Amino acid sequence: MERPRSRTDVLAEVGTRVKTDKSQTVDDLLPLKPALYLILLALTEGDRHGYGLKKEIISRTDGRVKLGAGTLYRSIRQLVDLGLIEESSQRPDPALDDERRRYFRLTRFGRQVALAETERLADLVRIAQSSRLAG
Amino acid sequence: MEARQRMFRLLLLLYPPRFRREYGGEALRQLEADLLEANDSGRLRRFIEGSVVLLDFTLAGVLERFASLGSRSRPVSSPSRGGGLMSTMLQDVRFAVRGFLKRPGFTVVAVASLALGVGANTAIFSVANGVLFKPLPYDEPDRVVQLLGTIRGQLSRRHSWLAYPEIQDLREGTKALAQVSAVQWWDPILYGSGEPARIFGKGVSACFFEIFGAQPVVGRFFLPEEEELNHEPVVVLSYGLWQQRFGGDPGAVGQTLDLDGVRYTVVGVVPAGFVDPFGAEALIWRARPPEWDATRLARINHSWRAIGRLAEGVTLEQAQADVDRVWSIFRREHPESHSQDGARLIRAKEWLVGDVETAILILLGSVGLVLLIACANVANLFLTRTIVRGREISLRSALGASRGRIVRQLVSEVCLLFVIGGAIGLPVAWLGMNSLLALGAQDLPRLGEVGIDWVVLGFTLGISLLSGLIFGLAAALPAVRSDLAAALQMGGRSLLGDRKSQRVRAGLVVAEIALALLLLAGGGLLLRSLWILQRTDPGFQPENVLTLRVYPTAGSYTEPDEITSLYQDLTAQLASIPGVTVAGAINFLPMWAGQNCEFVWRDDLPLPTREEFAEYDGPTCLEVRVVTPDYFEAMGISVVRGRGFTENDDGGAPPVAVISAATADLGFRGEDPLGKRVTLYETRDYLPNVSRQVVGVVSNVRQTSLAAEGVPAIYFAHAQEPDPDRRRVMTLTMRAGRDLTDLAARARAAVWQVDDNITIDFVQPMTSVVSNTVAQPRFRTTLVLIFGAVALVLAMVGVAGVVGHAVSQRIPEIGIRIALGASDRNIYAAVMGHGIKLTVAGLLLGVGGALLSTKVLSSLLYGIPTNDPVSFVAASALLVAIALVAIWVPARRAVRVDPVKTLNAE
């Protein structure tokens, strides 16, 4: 009997698929892991570097989500490999900038995935609201 | 800081190279920032947040590495690359990784228990390495030796001090010692910018720093002429004090410091890593002060420590013989002073860490047992898995894989697991080490040397791989040895390796239980000993007593009467604070720094002759304490007979003394001490020998620690004491009617109201003074108990695993039994019996082992023998109770078996 796919399996695959299968669709990537989703959301406002992403997510979630350095850069690596985000060549005012830092921005595909995930979640919420739970 | 960076870099190695290239630097900076952020919060929060951040970083690394391995692996290795050892190894590793990912539950349990075991071992090892194993940071450290005084050939810390003339004569008389330095504690008040502060320091001979082969950072150390009497006052600063006072300015050399009202010229600074063998807190050293005048100091004034350096090529034994030879000359020339004493040489390191050596080694042993149990558990898990995988193994074997190849595959799986466990164990170790240092190891010597360095990392890698290999082989062999063909036929379900591996697994579980009981029994003994210790009556009532030490400004209160009235004013002022019932003062607070043992003899008995004194085996001296009238009441020391001191016992009244019950027993056996006269024979020629009348007896006080019996003591009235050294710096003690919150601030204010130039330090409740003396026992007891608990949990996971596996193997049989009408009780009995047998076997083995091995604890126990039945019974009962639960949980599954289903399946 096939065991249900665990999160670890999914992670391993998400990490590898891009190399083996270039022609993936938005749906292949859903549901998106919360960390990945939050990073995509944080990038909708503009380009950010790693630390900026962390701070943006903390402020958006009122401090409930703090990504550790490991998870943060692992997620960034996955998103870059999946083609959802890319390194940005734009830099803010050099005076304000630490040149060792790398900035990231959302790709078009990334924006589509984020949108699709948002819709998927919204659907779930609608279903929940029509049940007795939210009443 | 450096060790920390090194560890982070090592953690980064967990990540695949591509990740390190692209994100490594930034991720590391982010990690630093995360940890820095956690630093802003409280201690517990910081610990938790720091752990989360580090574990996140480690886990992400492992996952990332798995992802990259998984991406490159193909189910079938390409034939062109097959054959090479490296490639089969890689193949093994990839195969193992895929296996682990498929069974996350198994992987998490195994990795977590290994990480815990390896992490705890590394943490304790890092302490042992820093404190015990590393050589002292001196030039040829084995040549640095302490010279300790002995009495009747015996060494005891209390009587190990030497007299200054002895040290000087040893320096001149011995050939085997290249240098000998006298050392005396000196904590002057440093005046200057800001509030006057007391600093820890030492007075030393001019050759002191040569003994260690140390080189100054700036300036120089002491010159030979600074060994002469009446040289200019000069000091050498510690690196820390130099940074703090002079901001590390080399121009500090040549400047002067006001210490106790004397201007000392700074001549040099010691390097940052210098370790003073008499305690790391030393901040300043002065060259031989003028008071050290051998011609004026008695040979029985034992108030100095001595340290020396062996001459080139001389062994410790040769040097000891040389010292004994010089001492025999002392005995000839000064028979009155040297009837019973001698000197012993011991290496500086032994003296420095001797006290904690046993405790650290025991902790290292205990934590080693925890790792053994963790390993046994993993081996057990593996064995179960190997059995389940029997079909796969048989198939591979049938398809032509050699046994060696299969064993290698299995062993490399185990090794990989251990290496991952070790890698995750490293941050666990780092956190563990820091919390060890933060939570209770303040009293450890050489604390600055504890850290994670290459030796510690090597140790971690070593134990991970070694235990992986040993336990991996143990787990792999039974599976391969068993009858493969049969296994293939049986579908790998029941018979494969069951008999043999069942026996191995039962053996492992019995061993786990035995080891866990060993640790529990040890923890129980330490706990009971600590409990008894904490309930020991110290001879006073520390509750609601606040103490503070006061230092009158140098140069003030020079007349004896001025000091007397200063302390009268201070105690009166403190007693007038609302809530304070009574206040007193003493020169050396019990269980705090300081001792002063002096020769006191009854006036109605003739002084002992030399021969009589040599035969005399009672206490050779009494602890002398100087107190104000209300001290006994403030501390809750009860007056057993006669009276305590009153305001009338002043300088004009006849001198009186109060003795402790122990002194009364030893000096006045069967007689009434009240009214008898005693004289203290001073060792300093400027002090008179005062005869005093005994007016009272007070209860015994444990002067040095809770564990040390009360030493015989004698108390003098502060107003009558002629020695300024015994009455100038005092500790004030006040008893409050309620708890002590906010009393400290009021007490300071009250002192400064009397004289705002007085320096105050060591403001502390008496309860914490007492509890400090049991800090070390409490610390090691806590650790052993934690290890015991972890061991218990791991062993119980092992028992539950074995029983659970047996249940799942026996489901068809149980089904039939139920179908034939067996009751729940029958089923429980059938299933649990196996587990109970294992527990009892482990218990018996453990108790036997514990009886043999708890002897090593004997020096750490107080008030109980090493085979204390209460501790043993309690440990066994706890283990049995928890084992029953661990057996019952999987057994419950057996009674829920549906007979119809299982029979159908057959």
At B412-465, the pLDDT tens digits run: 787 788 878 888 888 888 888 887 777 665 667 777 777 777 788 888 888 877
User: For residue B597, what are the CA distances in angstroms to B334, B593, B676, B681?
Assistant: 21, 14, 21, 11
Q: pLDDT of A37-96, one tens digit each? A: 999 999 988 888 888 888 888 888 888 888 888 889 999 999 998 889 998 876 655 555
pLDDT score for B68: 73
Q: What ipTM, to 2 d.p.?
A: 0.77
CB contact under 8 A, A68 and B57: yes
Give the nearest partner residue to B23 out of A11, A19, A73, using CB atoms. A73
% of residues, chain B, pLDDT over 90: 32
Closest CA of chain B from A18, distance in Å: 10
Residue written as token pair 């990945």: A36
Residue B639 has pLDDT above 70, yes or no: yes
CB contact under 8 A, B56 and A68: yes
Closest C-alpha to B7, from B452, B458, B437: B452
Asked if residue B439 and residue B320 are part of one domain, the reply reads no
Closest CA of chain A from B98, distance in Å: 10
Residue B335 lies in a domain: yes
Find which of A72, A75, A85, A101 to mutate to test the B interface (most B CBs within 10 Å of its CB). A72
- Give B208's pLDDT tier (boundaries 50, 70, 90): very high
What value does the mean pLDDT take over residues B743-750?
92
The residue type at B718:
H
Query: CB neighbours of B798 closer than 8 A, spacing ≥ 6?
Result: B373, B376, B377, B380, B508, B509, B512, B513
Q: pLDDT of B549-591, one tens digit each? A: 999 987 889 888 999 999 999 999 999 999 899 999 999 999 8
Find which of B63, B73, B108 to mutate to test the A interface (most A CBs within 10 Å of its CB). B63
What value does the mean pLDDT take over residues B325-346?
86
DSSP B389: T
Q: What residues in A contact B104, CB-CB < 8 Å?
A: 6, 8
The total number of structural domains in chain B stands at: 5
Residue B78 lies in a domain: no
CB contact under 8 A, B23 and A16: no
Asked if residue B450 and residue B318 are part of one domain, the reply reads no
Burial (CB < 10 A; 0-12, 13-18, 19+), residue B598, is middle
Find which of B12, B28, B30, B57 to mutate to test the A interface (most A CBs within 10 Å of its CB). B30
Closest CA of chain A from B395, distance in Å: 20
What value does the mean pLDDT take over residues A14-33?
62
Give the nearest partner residue to A12 out of B23, B28, B101, using CB atoms. B101
% of residues, chain B, pLDDT over 70: 90
Asked if residue B711 and residue B637 are part of one domain, the reply reads yes
Residue B714 lies in a domain: yes
Residue B96 lies in a domain: no
Q: What residues in A contact B56, CB-CB < 8 Å?
A: 68-71
pLDDT score for A14: 44
Helix axes A108-130, A34-43, angle to 10 degrees: 120
Asked if residue B701 and residue B582 are part of one domain, the reply reads yes
Q: What residues in B contact A100, CB-CB < 8 Å?
A: 25-26, 29
Closest CA of chain A from B64, distance in Å: 7
Q: Indicate the residue among B465, B496, B527 that finishes a domain.
A: B496
Say how far apart CA B81 and CA B444 lie, in whole Å: 56
Element (H, E) at B642: strand B639-642
Residue A12 has pLDDT above 50, yes or no: no
User: What is the 3-class SS of B49-85, one letter each residue?
Assistant: HHHHHHHHHHHHHHHHHHHHHHHHCCCCCCHHHCCCH
Report A:109-128 residues touching B (Cβ under 8 A): none
Residue B743 has pLDDT above 80, yes or no: yes
B139 with B348: CB under 8 angstroms?
no
pLDDT score for B156: 72
Residue B354 has pLDDT above 60, yes or no: yes
Say how far apart CA B727 and CA B586 lie, in whole Å: 8
Asked if residue B333 and residue B456 are part of one domain, the reply reads no
pLDDT score for A65: 84
Residue B728 lies in a domain: yes
B527 with B868: CB under 8 angstroms?
no
Say how far apart CA B121 and CA B433 lie, in whole Å: 10
Q: pLDDT of B61-100, one tens digit each? A: 877 877 776 555 443 333 444 445 556 666 777 777 777 7
Asked if residue B335 and residue B354 are part of one domain, the reply reads no
pLDDT score for B486: 53
Say how far apart CA B432 and CA B122 lie, in whole Å: 9
pLDDT score for B315: 92
A77 touches chain B (CB under 8 A): yes
Asked if residue B520 and residue B573 are part of one domain, the reply reads no
What value does the mean pLDDT take over residues B622-633?
94
Q: What residues in B contact A71, CB-CB < 8 Å?
A: 56, 60
Q: Which residue of A has its CA nearest to B71?
A: A16
Residue B533 lies in a domain: yes
Q: What residues in A contact B30, CB-CB < 8 Å?
A: 50-51, 54, 69, 72-73
A12 touches chain B (CB under 8 A): yes
The residue type at B679:
T
CB contact under 8 A, B23 and A8: no
List A103's β-bridge partners, or say none.
A49
Structural domain boundaries, residue B851: 502-537+767-906
Say how far apart CA B624 and CA B715 lie, in whole Å: 6
Query: CB neighbours of B405 closer than 8 A, spacing ≥ 6?
Result: B88
What value does the mean pLDDT take over residues B231-248?
91
Query: CB neighbours of B288 closer than 8 A, spacing ≥ 6?
Result: B182, B203, B204, B205, B206, B226, B227, B229, B231
What value does the mean pLDDT take over residues B746-750?
93
CB contact under 8 A, B56 and A70: yes
Q: pLDDT of B271-307, one tens digit each? A: 988 888 887 778 899 999 988 988 888 887 888 999 9
* Rounded (5°) CA angle B373-B375-B379: 115
Asked if residue B295 and residue B172 are part of one domain, the reply reads yes
Asked if residue B586 and residue B698 are part of one domain, the reply reads yes
Q: pLDDT of B456-494, one tens digit each? A: 888 888 887 787 777 777 776 665 655 555 555 554 444
Two tokens at B734? 């006040």
pTM for this entry: 0.72
How many other CB atoms sit within 10 Å of the CB of residue B129? 21
Asked if residue B385 and residue B315 are part of one domain, the reply reads no
Lowest-confidence segment of B105-109, B315-319, B580-584 by average pLDDT: B105-109
List B642's β-bridge partners, or say none.
B696
Say how far apart CA B898 and CA B906 lie, in whole Å: 13
Mean pLDDT, rounded, of chain B: 84
pLDDT score for B131: 83
Q: What residues in A contact B57, CB-CB < 8 Å?
A: 68-70
pLDDT score for B219: 93
pLDDT score for B80: 40
CB contact under 8 A, A11 and B60: no
Asked if residue B380 and residue B272 are part of one domain, the reply reads no
- Give B263's pLDDT tier (boundaries 50, 70, 90): very high
Q: Indicate the residue among B756, B791, B825 that finishes a domain.
A: B756
What value does the mean pLDDT take over residues B611-626?
77
Asked if residue B326 and residue B180 are part of one domain, the reply reads yes
* Rounded (5°) CA angle B225-B230-B231: 40
Two tokens at A108? 């078009």
Q: pLDDT of B367-416, one tens digit each? A: 988 888 888 888 888 777 776 676 677 777 777 777 777 777 777 787 78
Burial (CB < 10 A; 0-12, 13-18, 19+), residue B503, is exposed
User: What is the 3-class SS of B570-590, one letter each residue?
Assistant: HHHHHHCCCCEEEEEEECCCC
Q: What residues in A contact B102, CB-CB < 8 Å?
A: 3
Residue B82 lies in a domain: no
Residue B102 has pLDDT above 50, yes or no: yes
Q: Indicate the residue among B339, B362, B394 that finishes a domain.
A: B339
Q: Helical H runs in chain A? A: 7-20, 34-43, 50-60, 69-82, 108-130
A19 touches chain B (CB under 8 A): yes
List B310's β-bridge partners, or say none.
B177
Q: What residues in A contact B31, CB-CB < 8 Å?
A: 68-70
CB contact under 8 A, A16 and B67: yes
B7 with B426: CB under 8 angstroms?
yes
Residue B853 lies in a domain: yes
How many other CB atoms sit within 10 Å of the CB of residue B312? 8
Find which of A7, A77, A81, A87 to mutate to test the B interface (most B CBs within 10 Å of its CB). A77
CB contact under 8 A, B27 and A100: no
pLDDT score for B642: 94
A8 touches chain B (CB under 8 A): yes
Closest CA of chain A from B790, distance in Å: 28
Helix axes B390-398, B348-388, angle to 10 degrees: 80
Closest CA of chain B from A2, distance in Å: 11
Closest CA of chain A from B35, distance in Å: 10
Torsion angle of C-alpha atoms B709, B636, B571, B714, degrees rounded to 10: -40
Say how far apart CA B318 and CA B520 lie, in whole Å: 46
Closest C-alpha to B877, from B524, B385, B603: B524
Q: pLDDT of B505-528, one tens digit each? A: 888 889 999 999 999 999 999 999
B237 with B270: CB under 8 angstroms?
yes
Q: Domains for chain A: give ranges and CATH numbers.
A: 7-130 (1.10.10.10)
- Give B872's pLDDT tier (boundaries 50, 70, 90): very high
The residue type at B194:
G
